Amino acid sequence: MNKVRVRFAPSPTGGLHLGGVRTALYNYLFAKQHGGDFILRVEDTDQSRFVPGAEEYINECLSWCGLQPNESPAMGGAFAPYRQSERKKIYKDYAEQLVESGHAYYAFDTPEEIEMMRQNLKAHGEGNLQYDHHVRMRMNNSLRLMPHEAQELLNAATPYVIRLKIDPGETISIDDVIRGDLKFDTNNIDDKVLLKADGMPTYHLAVVVDDYLMKISHVFRGEEWMPSLPVHALLWKYLGWENHMPKWAHLPLILKPDGNGKLSKRDGDRLGFPVFAMNWTDPKTNELIKGFKELGFLPEAFINLLAVLGWNDGTAQEIYSLDELIEKFSIEKVHYAGAKFDFEKAKWFNHEWIKKLPVARYQLQVKKIFEDNGIIIDDEAKFERVLILIKDRCHLINDFFAQGNFFFKTPATIDTTAISPSWNDNKQMFFVELIRAYELSTLWQTADLEKEFKELAAANKLKPGELMLPFRIMLVGGKFGPGVFEIASVIGKEETVKRIEHTLASM
């Protein structure tokens, strides 16, 4: 049994969506559980769609998710180069080899001629408009032309493509790790272009050549590739590598939550949640597409929610660390059907991870958010205490600011309407006395503050419950946050007194 080698092969056209990250994750997990290699290969053969910076962006996303490849364009490896645009010559040689062995041919048809052929077929009521065995002997290619005619066109530098010659009447049966036996009829397959007029290979030629040369053992990719599986299998066969063909698995699609279709980058804004791992700014349009990272997702949660969207180990477990996934994931148990993405559930995963992880894991990140909002943290111990106090109420990392800024800054607005209806002189008096009592206090622990508060309330014949809400409003500004005495204890005597006085003055 050869070593397991899998690859993640995105095209650098901008952004990295949920489905892409999940594909990378499943490949990574499989490699790890077999002690194999996880390779990043960049499919940049379409020059017109290439976007500068996109490759670096992909690297960053993988790194954030903790899915480090051990071979890539950036880090090199034994099978370099890993960028397809740099392997142009290799593909051309194999394409020509296929022509020589009679499995491919030169086609000189212009796009207009092909379009005309399709119109013609349509006019005759044909449902199948492909460039295939039905029409190829009527087209301008080296199969129909005399050898010297074709050679003359080649000599005259006529633009051409190389097409795969698919013979009809054959049933191709391929085993898919997830779906089992898949059957295809070659009658329905067209003569796919292998080498484009610009000399670049199409995906079909490039994957097969690279997967062979890079000794890829398993190919896990999106379900959108299933229809071209027979083409790839045929290519493995025609190139003489049939015995080296990798095992295949086609992953279900991630769909829009509200209805129809594959989740795409345009859905993000419309539905109010990100579809990319990290923020991506299109350099051409300057359009920003939001990412999970910047919205306040933890990579642990992001990986977790993606892993279980389309896979389940048969138990009720839902929270998995990367290490646990490596231990328990199995590609055979991936589902057949596409799954609609649910952002509410995604937030739940993040919430679980915020609660589960020690605050040190995201303390720096939260600190940065505070600083971006004008609050400088100089007391790390206090900051950590606050984080522990409020982590249970945060779903996104960004929630920490709303839940915790009042620990470091006097609330800008005080919701006095929440207490004014039942405000009276007795309460006013109580808080005046509370200020004095707290000022004299030598103890400032949560329990001490609560004890003093309640004793003073009893002395004034007031119910503590009626006073705690006003106290909260004074300290926090609104009806939220952890226990009031915890808050008073954290912000300290001086600040507590100051906030009581401030509100009292405006009642």
Partner RNA sequence: GCCGCGUUGGUCAAGGGGUUAAGACGCCUCCCUUUCACGGAGGAAUCACGGGUUCGAAUCCCGUACGUGGUACCA
Choose the binding region for RNA from 280-288, 420-428, 465-473, 497-505 (rule: CB under 7 A): 465-473
Q: Which is nearer to RNA, 240 or 283 (CB)?
A: 283
Closest residue by Cα to residue 449 from 460, 463, 464, 462: 464
Can you tell me which of 89, 124, 148, 183 binds RNA, judged by CB under 7 A? 183
Can you tell me which of 219, 235, 481, 489 binds RNA, judged by CB under 7 A? 481
What are the tokens at 478?
């609104």
What are the tokens at 408?
């470091």
* Residues 312, 27 contacting (CB under 8 angstroms): no
Can you tell me which of 70, 120, 188, 445 binds RNA, judged by CB under 7 A? 188
What are residue 487's phi and psi, to 5 degrees? Answer: -65, -45
Q: What CA–CA distance (Å, rounded) separates 311 from 352?
A: 19
At 498, the amino acid letter reads K
Burial class (CB in 10 A: 0-12, 13-18, 19+), 318: middle
Minimal distance, residue 476 CB to RNA, in Å: 7
Minimal distance, residue 82 CB to RNA, in Å: 13
Q: Which is nearer to RNA, 311 or 438 (CB)?
A: 311
Residues 39-68 within binding reach of RNA (CB under 7 A):
43, 45-46, 49
Can you tell me which of 92, 134, 356, 393 binds RNA, judged by CB under 7 A? 393
Among the listed residues 215, 265, 454, 498, the single catalytic one is 265
Residues 291-350 within binding reach of RNA (CB under 7 A):
308-310, 312, 314, 316, 318, 333, 335-340, 342, 344-345, 348
Q: Which is nearer to RNA, 3 or 266 (CB)?
A: 266
What are the tokens at 334?
């991936």
User: Does 434 help bind RNA (rule: CB under 7 A)?
Assistant: no
User: Does 480 help bind RNA (rule: CB under 7 A)?
Assistant: yes
Let me know if 345 is a catalytic residue.
no
The string over 80-98, giving b where at least 16 C-beta atoms fall within 10 Å of a residue's C-beta and e elsewhere, is eebbbbebbebbbebbeeb
Can you tell me which of 34, 144, 247, 262 binds RNA, judged by CB under 7 A? 262
User: Does 127 help bind RNA (rule: CB under 7 A)?
Assistant: yes
Choose the binding region for RNA from 280-288, 357-365, 423-431, 461-469 (rule: CB under 7 A): 461-469
What are the tokens at 89?
């010559």
Q: Which is nearer to RNA, 355 or 451 (CB)?
A: 355
Choose the binding region for RNA from 321-329, 356-364, 427-435, 459-467 (rule: CB under 7 A): 459-467
3-state class of 208 per DSSP?
helix
User: Does 225 help bind RNA (rule: CB under 7 A)?
Assistant: yes
Can you tell me which of 33, 244, 464, 498 binds RNA, judged by CB under 7 A? 464
Residues 103-122 within binding reach of RNA (CB under 7 A):
109-111, 114
Closest residue by Cα to residue 472 from 459, 458, 486: 486
Closest residue by Cα to residue 103 from 42, 60, 163: 163
Helix 484-491 to helix 464-476 angle, to the nearest 10 degrees?
40
Can you tell me which of 196, 232, 290, 427 binds RNA, judged by CB under 7 A? 196
What are the tokens at 136?
């190829």
Q: How many residues bind RNA (CB under 7 A)?
A: 80
Residues 87-106 within binding reach of RNA (CB under 7 A):
none
3-state class of 125 per DSSP?
coil
Q: What CA–CA distance (Å, rounded) separates 17 from 353?
A: 21
Minimal distance, residue 94 CB to RNA, in Å: 15
Q: Which residues contact 457 (CB under 8 A, 6 or more apart)?
A: 430, 463, 464, 467
Can you tell me which of 260, 285, 413, 442 binds RNA, judged by CB under 7 A? 260
What are the tokens at 127?
């449902």
Residues 157-176 within binding reach of RNA (CB under 7 A):
159, 161
Q: Which residues contact 244 (CB under 8 A, 6 or more apart)?
A: 212, 236
How much is the CA Rg of the chain, to the nearest whole Å? 32
Choose the binding region for RNA from 208-216, 226-234, 278-286, 321-329 (rule: CB under 7 A): 226-234
Can you tell me which of 56, 198, 371, 455 binds RNA, judged by CB under 7 A? 198
* Residues 268, 196 contacting (CB under 8 angstroms): no
Choose the binding region for RNA from 60-68, 208-216, 294-302, 472-480 (rule: CB under 7 A): 472-480
User: Does 266 help bind RNA (rule: CB under 7 A)?
Assistant: no
Q: What CA–CA distance (Å, rounded) separates 244 from 142?
A: 30
**Residues involved in catalysis:** 265
